[in-house]
Structure 1
Amino acid sequence: MEFFFRPRGIAVVGATASKGKGGNLIVLNLKKGYFGPVYPVNPGYDEIEGFTCYLSVSDVPDPVDLAIVFVAAHMVPQVIEDCAQRGIPGVMIQSAGFSETGTTGAALQEKIRQTARETGIRLWGPNCMGLVDVPSQWIFSTVTPTIWDTGLTPGNVSLIAQSGMLAGAFLIDLISHGTMGIAKVCSIGNKMDVDENDLLEWLIHDPDTAAIGLYLESLTDCRRFMALCRSTPKPVVILNGGKTAGGAAAAQSHTASLSAGGALVAGAMAQAGVITADGFYQLADFSRTFGMYAHLPPRTGNRVAVLTYTGAAGIVSADIMDRHGLELSQFRDTTLETLQTVFPEWMPPANPVDMWPGIILNGSKKTYETAMQAVCADPAVDAVFIHCFAGGFSLEVDLEKMADTAREAGKPLFCWISGERDRVYRFQKTAQPLGVPVFREIMRAVECMGMLLNRPCPKIETDPETAAEERIRRLTQDPRLAVLASNTGELDELVSKQVLKACGIPVVEEKQVTFFEEAQRAAADFGFPLVVKGMVAGVSHKTESSLVHLGIASDQDLASAVTTLQQTMEGRGRILIQKQVPGKIELVAGFVRDPRLGPCVMCGLGGIFAEALNDTVFGVAPLTLADALAMIDRLKCRPMLDGYRGYDPVDKNALGRILVILGDLGCAYPDIREIDINPLIMHKGDPVAVDGLVVLA
C-alpha cells in the first residue's frame, strides 16, 4: 500500500486544462502540495498547469508509482491494462459509472477487477475521491481547491469513508469549523480491490494516526476487520450505514429472527472493541476525543468535577452524566477549603461547582484557575468538565493555562462553550491545538467523556486460538453427535437437546411417551409439577400452536394434557414429559450462521418476550470465555442477572460456557444453520435448557 500513500511520482490520466473539471482539480491540488513529479496524461494537450502532458501512460517517464484515473467509465479498462503494462503498481480510479449504476456498470467493474487479478496491480476505488494527507499537504483528489483556503489543520485522526462526496464535504466541514485536526482521509468508493481492511492495516502502523474513524456501508471481511481492531491499541470508531439482515431470511428459530437489523454487526464490533457511532458528527466527535487523549489508558476512572458559571448547566450536566456511566466527584476537604477562598462566606462550594458568586468577587480568570488547580489536585477527580462563555458577562478564561494544569495532573479536560458566534469560533480554534475537546452541546460533551472514561480495557486472551481449535476438533470426533452428520432440516426437541447435553450444556430431565400410562411412569420418576409438550414435525414455536401445557400438578392434570395434545396433533406427533424447572429469569441462547460473518452466537432475554423486547447481544464464534462474559454484560437485563430485587444471581461463568459451547458446535459442524435454546431458565442461578432446536442445512 506504500505506493498509494508515498508515491515517488504520479500520473494523472484524464487531466485537463478546463477549469473546474475533475481532471484539472486533481492537477491543481497536486501542484499546491505534492513535491514529486506530476505527469498529466491527455493526448489533447502539450502541457497542463505548467506540467508537461503525455499522450499515454506508456509515455510517462520514471519514477511513477501511482496513477490517478479520471476518464469516462468505458475507457477505464484499457487505462488499467496500460498501467499494468507500464509497471505502475497502484491506480486510484476516481471515475464513476460502475457497479453503483446497475448491471452494465457492474460488468465493467468486474472486467477491471479481472485485469487486477491477472496482473497484480492494486486498484483504489472506483467512484471515490481518493486521499487527503493533511500533515504532508498532499491532496490526491478532485476535492475543490478551496479546501486550501480553509487551512488544512494537521491532527492525529484518520478517516475512511465509503462515500466519495461525504469524504470531501465532511472534510471541508470539519476543517472550516476549526474543531478537528486531520491526519488522513481515505475515500474508497466501491472497494473493487483496496478495501477498509487494507487501509485500516496501513493506518494502524501510520505514525501520524492515533485514532481511526470509518463510515462504511458494508464490511468486506468482517472477521479480518475484527482481528485488525483487536491487534491495535489505537481506538477505532465506526458509523455503519448498511446493516446485515440476511441471517433472518427464512428464520426457523428465535435466534435467527432476532439477528436482523444490524444486531450481528453491532455484536461483532463490540467484541472487537470498536466504538459505534450513530451519526456523522458523533463519529467525528468520538474520533477527535480519542485523538486528543490517545495517551490516556482505558478505565482510568469515571469521577468528574464540573466547573460551571451557571447552576442550571451544572444540574443538567449531572443528570446526563448519570446516563453515561459517570459520577460527580466527592471532593476532599482540602479541595473544598481551596474553593472556599474564592467563594463568598455564605456559599459553601460543592460539585457541580457554581462559580458565578466567586466570579463576581474575584473575576473569572482567578476563580476558574483556582477551581481548576483545586480539582486537578484532588485524587477523587478523574476528569474535569468546564463550562465557558465567549463574548460578554466578563467570563473570559485562560484556556491555555487550564489545559496545562489538567495535562500536568494527567486528567482529561472537556469543555462546553456558548456565546457570540465569532468568539465561539475563535475559542474552538484556540482549543484545538491545546488538545481540549470543545462542544456546543452539554449532551455531546458528556457522551464523549463517558465514551472515553468507560472505554473497556483491551482483552487479554485467556483462551488462545489453539485451545478453540482443539475444542472444535474434539466435537467433530464425538460419536454422540453423529446425528448432525446423518440428518437434514429441523431436529425435534428431544434429539436437539440430546445434542446439547452431549456437548456439556445442562438440559431438563425429560422422557418421550406415547400413551398416558407411559406419562404416569415418567411422572412417578420426576415428581410433579411437570410440563407436557407436543412435538410435531415442522412446528418450531410450540407455545403459539397450543402444544405446551405448564404446571401439571396431578394425574388428573396429566391425563387432561395428554388427551388434549393427542387431539391437537391428530395423531401426527409425539409427547414429551419434562420436569418443570422453576426460575424467575428466562433467557434465550443460540447460534446462527450469517452469510457474511459466518458462525455467530446470541444471548438475550428469552421466553415469550424474546422477540417482543429484543434484548439480545451477538458475538462471532469461536468465542473465548472473556468474549462470552462481555456479551452477557452488554445485556440490558444485566441487573436482573446480578441479583436485582430478590432474583438469584446468575452464574455468569456457567452461562458464558454455554455460549462458548454453542459457538464451538457451530464451528465444528458446518451443516448447522441455527441452534435455539429458548427458554434457558435460571434455576437458583444455574442455567438449564428446557427447550431446544437444532436446524441443519
Structure 2
Amino acid sequence: MPSLDALFTPRSVAVVGASRDPRKLGHVLLRNLLEYGYTGQVAVVHPAEPELLGVAASRRLTELAAPPELVLVSVPGDRVLGVVREAAAAGARALVVLASGFGETGEAGQAAELELRAVARSSGMRLVGPNCMGVYNSHRCLNGSYFWDLPRIPGGISFVSQSGAYGGLLFEEARRRRFGVAKFLSLGNQVDLTHAEVVAYLAEDVETTVVALFIEGVPDGPALRAAVQRTAARKPVVVLKAGRTPAGRRASRSHTGALAGDAEVFRALLTQAGAVVPRETEEFFDLCLALASYPTGIPGPEGLALLTISGGPCVIASDACEELGLGVPPLREETRARVRALIPPFGASGNPVDMTPQMEPERFGACVDAVLGDEAITGALAINVGLDEPEFAQAFVEARRRSGKPILACVAAVPQIQQVFEAQGIPIFPSPERAARAYAALVRYARARLACAPAPEPADAARTPRRSRLLASRGREPRVLDEVQAKALLAEYGVAVVAERAAPTADQAVEAAAALGFPVAVKALRPGLLHKSDRGGVWLDVPDAPGVRSACGAIRERFGPEVGFVVQAMARGRVELILGGRRDPSFGPVVLAGLGGIHAEVYRDVALRPAPLNAGQARAMLRELSAAKLLGAYRGSPPLNETALVEQIVRVGELLVANPEVRELDVNPLIAGPDGCVAVDAVVLLEDETAQGAAAAPRGHGGEKALEMAEA
C-alpha cells in the first residue's frame, strides 16, 4: 500500500503551523521532528517567519522546491481546509491534521469533515485525523507527533489508536516496562484513513510483529473484520474497544438486543476473525508484551511449571492457574529427585518448585534445566520477589534456549534480574495473577490461530433473498410487529413456525382451539407487547374450551378489553433455543443462536455471526455453545435435528440481509427435537427512517435511536 509508505516512511516532511514559541504545539511538533533524528528532508511553512528552529521557511506549500511526501498540520481548525487544499495542489501524498474542532463538536464540524474528505479523495492524498496526536516510527526516527521525550526503544509492537491521549498512556507504559514500539498512529476522527486500512498496511510491514488497536467507533465494521482476519493469519492483532457500557442494551426490548449489544458483537466478530480482545487497559498492554515475545502463542495448557524462591507468590500463582484452567502437573519422580538434590532440604520439589532464598546461585541453572526437561512441562513462570541474583534470570534464559519452551516472569524489587529478562525478551509482569493471565491468553491464542474461521463463503445464488412482501406492503406504523405478523415474516423465509390462529374474541379463541386440537397455548396479542410470559400474557397446556375462556378472561383483566388473542398448538421438543438477529451500527446484520427460553438472559450462552452466513458457519455457531452437548444424544435421548437447526439459522440471516428495516428479531423459544424445530414465539422490531439513515452514516458510531414501543 504505497500511499501509507508516505505516512510512515516519508522521504520528506513539511510542517505547517510551526511556531517559535515553545509553549505552542506547532513548536513542539517541529522540535520533535528535528530532535528525534529524522534523516529525510524537512520543510517549514509559515506566512511570516523566514526560518524556524534553523529550518528555512516558505510562505506556502506550493512554493516548496519539491512536493512533500508528508504534511503535518498544526493550525487552528478554521484554517485547516485551506491548508488541505494547498497540500493537494502541491502534490503531497499524505497529510496529518492534528487540529481539533471538527466532527466531535457537532453538525458544523461534521460538515467540515466531509469537505476535508472530498479534497483528500479527489486528489488521492491520504488524510489522517483531524483531532489526532500524529505519527511515530521508531525505526526511521520519525516523531511527527505532539509527544515529546519518548522512549527510544525500537521494537515490533505497532499501535493504532483512535484516541490521541491513549497514545500518551502507551508511551508511558513503554517507558516503564521498557518494551519497544515500531510505529504509532493516532487516527482521531477517521475522516479518510481508518483502522481497517492501517491494519492491512501493518500486515505487510516487516518491522511490525504485533498490531495493537485502541478503538472507540468503527466506521466500517466488515472492512475492519476482513483486515483483522487477513492480518491475524500472519501476526497477532490485539484490540481494545472503548464504549462497552450497557446503554445500547437498555435501548433494546428483545432478548437478542440484550444478548448481542454493540460490545458483544464487536468482541465475538473480532475474536472469530483471529484477534485477541482484552477487556481492560492493563490486560491490553500485558498481552501486547507477551505476544511480542511469543507471536504464535503457546500450544497446550497442560504442562505449566511454577518456579520461585518464595512460597507466597507461588501459592497465588497456583490459585490463578487453577482458576484459568492452566494445568500445573506434578513432576516425574526422576525430575523431583534431581530437584531435591539441588535445593535446600526445606524447599519444595514438586510443582510449584520453591528453590528458597537460601539456594546457592550457581545451582539455579541445573534446577531450572531439570524442570524444563520434564516431558510433562511445556512452559514455565519464573517468580522472584526481592532476591536480586542475576544467576536466577540467566538460568531461565539458558533453559529456554536449550529447551525451546516459553517462559514468562513475575518479578519485583530485583533490578538486575529485570534487566536480564528485558534484554532477552522474557516478558515481565508485576503480579502472579497477571503473569498467569498472560500465559493463559497465549494458550488461547495458539488454539485460536489453528481454529481461525476462513473468510465467509459467498451466498448461494439460488438462495439470494428477496424483500419481504409483508414488510413492503406495510405502512410506517407501528414499528413493532405483533406475534402473528412476526411469524408470518419468518415463514416467508422458510423458518418453521407453530400452527396458530389469531382470535379477536374469546368465542373465536375457543373455535380456534377446537380446530387446532387440545391442549393449546393462549397468548395476549397486541403490537408492541413484548415479554408476555413475564406479565401473565401466556397460558400453556390449556386442556379444553372452558380453560380457553378462563385464559382469555385473565388476559383481558391484565391487559385491558382491547387486547386480542393468539391460540397455538402446543409444540413438543427437548431443548428451548433462541434464534435472532440485530442490525449492528458498525458491522451490519448479525445472527444470534443459543440457549433460550425465559432464562436466555441468565444463561447468556449464545454465538454470533455476521449475515449472510452459510451452513458451515451456522453449524460452527451451534458447536461453540457451552451447552452444545445438549444438542447431541443425551441420557438416552436422541440428538436434535442439527440439519434443521442450521437451516433455520441460515434463513434468519437471509431475512436480515433482505430487509434493512428489521432492527431486531427474536425467536424465543425455538423448540428443537429429533424431528426438527419450530418457532413458538417471535418479536420483530423495525427501524424508523431516521434511525436507518443514522445507521448508514459513514462515521458509524454514536447512540442508537431507541424505538418507542407501547407496552402498557
Q: The residue matched to 1:476 in structure 2 has which SS?
A: coil
Query: What CA deviation, in whole Å up to 9, does each residue of 1:649-684 have, x standing for no partner?
Result: 877776555433322331233343332111234547
In structure 2, do the counterparts of structure 1 residues 307 and 576 end up closer, same or farther at CA, with 3 Å as the change threshold?
same
TM-score, L = length of structure 1: 0.86
Query: How much does 1:536 deviate?
Result: 3.0
**What's 1:218 paired with?**
217
Q: Check if 1:277 corresponds to 2:278.
A: yes
Give the counterpart letter for 2:411 in structure 1: I
Q: Percent identity?
A: 29
Query: How much does 1:124 deviate?
Result: 1.1
Q: Check if 1:411 corresponds to 2:414.
A: no
Query: How much does 1:56 deviate?
Result: 1.6
Q: Report if aligned partners of 2:509, 2:548 keep a CA contact under 8 Å in 1.
A: no
Q: Report if aligned partners of 1:11, 1:60 keep a CA contact under 8 Å in 2.
A: no
1:579 to 545, 548, 570: 570
Q: The residue matched to 2:514 in structure 1 has which SS?
A: helix
Give the counterpart letter for 1:592 in structure 2: R
**What's 2:180 paired with?**
181
Give the counterpart letter for 1:354 in structure 2: D
2:457 to 442, 445, 465: 465
**What's 2:324 paired with?**
324
**What's 2:371 paired with?**
375
Q: Check if 1:667 corresponds to 2:657.
A: yes
Give the counterpart letter for 2:403 in structure 1: A
The number of residue pairs the alignment matches comes to: 671
In structure 2, do the counterparts of structure 1 residues 257 and 418 end up closer, same or farther at CA, with 3 Å as the change threshold?
closer
* Aligned ranges 1:85-484 → 2 under 5 Å: 85-144=89-148, 146-147=149-150, 151-167=151-167, 169-232=168-231, 233=233, 234-243=235-244, 251=252, 253-260=254-261, 262-294=263-295, 296=296, 299-343=299-343, 349-356=349-356, 360=358, 362-366=359-363, 368-391=364-387, 395-419=389-413, 423-424=414-415, 426-455=416-445, 456-459=448-451, 465-466=457-458, 468-470=459-461, 472-473=463-464, 475-476=465-466, 482-483=469-470
Q: Check if 1:69 corresponds to 2:73.
A: yes
Give the counterpart letter for 2:349 in structure 1: P
Query: How much does 1:191 deviate?
Result: 1.6
Write the distance in 1 (CA, Å) between the matches of 2:509 and 2:112.
Answer: 67
In structure 2, do the counterparts of structure 1 residues 692 and 98 end up closer, same or farther at CA, with 3 Å as the change threshold?
closer
Q: Report if aligned partners of 1:162, 1:216 keep a CA contact under 8 Å in 2.
A: yes
Q: The residue matched to 1:589 in structure 2 has which SS?
A: strand
Q: Report if aligned partners of 2:67, 2:90 keep a CA contact under 8 Å in 1.
A: no
Write the distance in 1 (CA, Å) between the matches of 2:587 and 2:605.
Answer: 21
In structure 2, do the counterparts of structure 1 residues 636 and 180 end up closer, same or farther at CA, with 3 Å as the change threshold?
farther
Query: How much does 1:207 deviate?
Result: 0.4
Q: Structure 2: which 5+ runs fail to align?
A: 688-712
Write the distance in 2 (CA, Å) between the matches of 1:303 and 1:594.
Answer: 41
Q: Report if aligned partners of 1:152, 1:175 keep a CA contact under 8 Å in 2.
A: no
Query: How much does 1:496 deviate?
Result: 3.7
Q: CA RMSD in A?
A: 3.4
Write the distance in 1 (CA, Å) between the matches of 2:352 and 2:647.
Answer: 44
Query: How much does 1:458 deviate?
Result: 4.5
Write the distance in 2 (CA, Å) between the matches of 1:375 and 1:329.
Answer: 11
Moved more, 383-392 or 511-520: 511-520
Q: The residue matched to 2:391 in structure 1 has which SS?
A: coil
2:581 to 591, 599, 611: 591
Moved more, 119-128 or 435-444: 119-128
Q: Report if aligned partners of 2:99, 2:132 keep a CA contact under 8 Å in 1.
A: yes
Query: What CA deviation, in whole Å up to 9, does each residue of 1:361-416 have, x standing for no partner?
Result: x51441x3233212322232222111023456xx5534244223224423211101
Write the distance in 2 (CA, Å) between the matches of 1:518 and 1:384.
Answer: 69
Write the distance in 2 (CA, Å) between the matches of 1:658 and 1:187.
Answer: 43
Give the counterpart letter for 2:237 in structure 1: V
Give the counterpart letter for 2:7 in structure 1: F
**What's 2:17 paired with?**
14
Query: How much does 1:256 deviate?
Result: 2.7
Moved more, 558-567 or 251-260: 558-567
Query: How much does 1:253 deviate?
Result: 2.8
Query: What CA deviation, in whole Å up to 9, does each residue of 1:298-346 have, x standing for no partner?
Result: 6444431111222332222122112223111343343333323224668
Write the distance in 1 (CA, Å) between the matches of 2:427 and 2:661.
Answer: 51
Give the counterpart letter for 2:5 in structure 1: E
Q: Report if aligned partners of 1:273, 1:458 keep a CA contact under 8 Å in 2.
A: no
Q: The residue matched to 2:139 in structure 1 has which SS?
A: coil
Query: How much does 1:38 deviate?
Result: 0.6
Q: Report if aligned partners of 2:69, 2:94 keep a CA contact under 8 Å in 1.
A: yes
Q: Report if aligned partners of 1:15, 1:23 keep a CA contact under 8 Å in 2.
A: yes
Q: Structure 1: which 5+ runs fail to align?
A: none
**What's 2:679 paired with?**
689
Query: How much does 1:463 deviate?
Result: 8.2
Give the counterpart letter for 2:285 in structure 1: A
Moved more, 493-502 or 212-221: 493-502
Write the distance in 2 (CA, Å) between the matches of 1:58 and 1:207.
Answer: 34
Moved more, 13-22 or 106-115: 106-115
Write the distance in 1 (CA, Å) between the matches of 2:619 and 2:180.
Answer: 37
**What's 1:38 paired with?**
42
Write the distance in 2 (CA, Å) between the matches of 1:612 and 1:157.
Answer: 39
Query: What CA deviation, in whole Å up to 9, does each residue of 1:424-471 have, x standing for no partner?
Result: 3x54343223121100111111111111111213546578522x2436
Q: The residue matched to 2:140 in structure 1 has which SS?
A: coil
Give the counterpart letter for 2:400 in structure 1: A
Q: The residue matched to 1:242 in structure 2 has which SS?
A: coil
Give the counterpart letter for 1:78 in structure 2: G
Give the counterpart letter for 2:6 in structure 1: F
Q: The residue matched to 2:382 in structure 1 has which SS?
A: strand
Write the distance in 1 (CA, Å) between the matches of 2:60 and 2:94.
Answer: 16
In structure 2, do the counterparts of structure 1 residues 655 and 310 end up closer, same or farther at CA, with 3 Å as the change threshold?
farther
Moved more, 89-98 or 602-611: 602-611
Q: The residue matched to 1:83 in structure 2 has which SS?
A: helix
TM-score, L = length of structure 2: 0.85
Query: What CA deviation, in whole Å up to 9, does each residue of 1:22-72 have, x standing for no partner?
Result: 222222222232111111111332222222221221121125211111122
* Aligned ranges 1:642-681 → 2 under 5 Å: 655=645, 657-681=647-671
Moved more, 634-643 or 91-100: 634-643
Q: Report if aligned partners of 2:182, 2:208 keep a CA contact under 8 Å in 1.
A: yes
Write the distance in 1 (CA, Å) between the matches of 2:250 and 2:262.
Answer: 12
